[in-house]
Amino acid sequence: MADDAPHQAVATEPRPDVTDDELEAGRKLFAAECRFFFGAQKLEQLPPPAGIEIAFAGRSNVGKSSLLNALTGHNSLARVSTEPGRTRQLNFFDLGGRLTLVDMPGYGYARASKQIKADWQGMMFDYLRGRTTLLRVMLLLDSRIEVKQADHDVMDLLDRAAVTYQIVLTKADGLKPGALARKQDEIGALVAKHPAAFPEIATTSSETGAGIPELRAVLTGLVS
């Protein structure tokens, strides 16, 4: 029965409102060369602000690095790990000289030492609050699990800092269509309560590629 096949989950999901031209522009931009150019472990080490940045934030293990790889069509541009807490610095990637993508360390990783948590998270939050070139934060939430306190805290922080953010539901391949639709409704209601949250939610699977062309189109729209 089709409804029992999790991998078909995203196929029936309503497509975000993107035109064929926007999809094509997204395909072209993300086919450009993408290269790592900077890793920052401390705020003082950030590259000088230039161009437009889009940061990928979210709890540890939510799939930030995997999403960057899927968007750019690389297997191993950003390092992916089954062990949470893999990405330990802000990693900056230049996409075709037009856009900077920033892979952030995850928050909410319970097993990290207190000192490490304070270091990463302090830097991450300072970056999110203070970076003038940061156009939008893509805030990833795992579609298969509940929204945690740490996610609510980050949404509140971004509201206070007036940094526009957009929710990306990740790992959509893990849900059946009905459950995915309910999750999208739940997150839609959550987003409506947050002034700095962009109303449209993206839904993706880095595993199957579902939602990836649409997200490329959305991101490309931000720099066109």
Ligand X SMILES: Nc1nc2c(ncn2[C@@H]2O[C@H](COP(=O)(O)OP(=O)(O)OP(=O)(O)O)[C@@H](O)[C@H]2O)c(=O)[nH]1
Which positions lie near Mg ion, rule CB under 5 A?
Answer: 64-65, 86-87
Give the nearer residue to ligand X in terms of CB position, either 62 or 191: 62
C-alpha to C-alpha distance for 190 and 197, rounded to whole angstroms: 9
CB of residue 110 to ligand X, shortest distance in Å: 12
- Residue of minimal Cβ distance to Mg ion: 87
Q: Where are the extended beta strands (E) located within the chain? A: 34-40, 53-58, 90-95, 99-103, 134-142, 165-170, 202-203
CB of residue 224 to ligand X, shortest distance in Å: 27
Cα separation values, 152 from 5, 68, 193, Å: 31, 23, 11
Radius of gyration over alpha carbons of the chain, in Å? 17
The residues binding ligand X (CB under 6 A) are: 58, 60-66, 80-82, 84-87, 105-106, 170-171, 173-174, 205-207
Give the nearer residue to ligand X in terms of CB position, either 131 or 171: 171
Task: Give the count of alpha carbons within 13 A of 87, CB side only.
Answer: 31
CB of residue 144 to Mg ion, shortest distance in Å: 18
Give the nearer residue to Mg ion in terms of CB position, either 25 or 171: 171
C-alpha to C-alpha distance for 108 and 150, rounded to whole angstroms: 6
CB of residue 224 to Mg ion, shortest distance in Å: 28
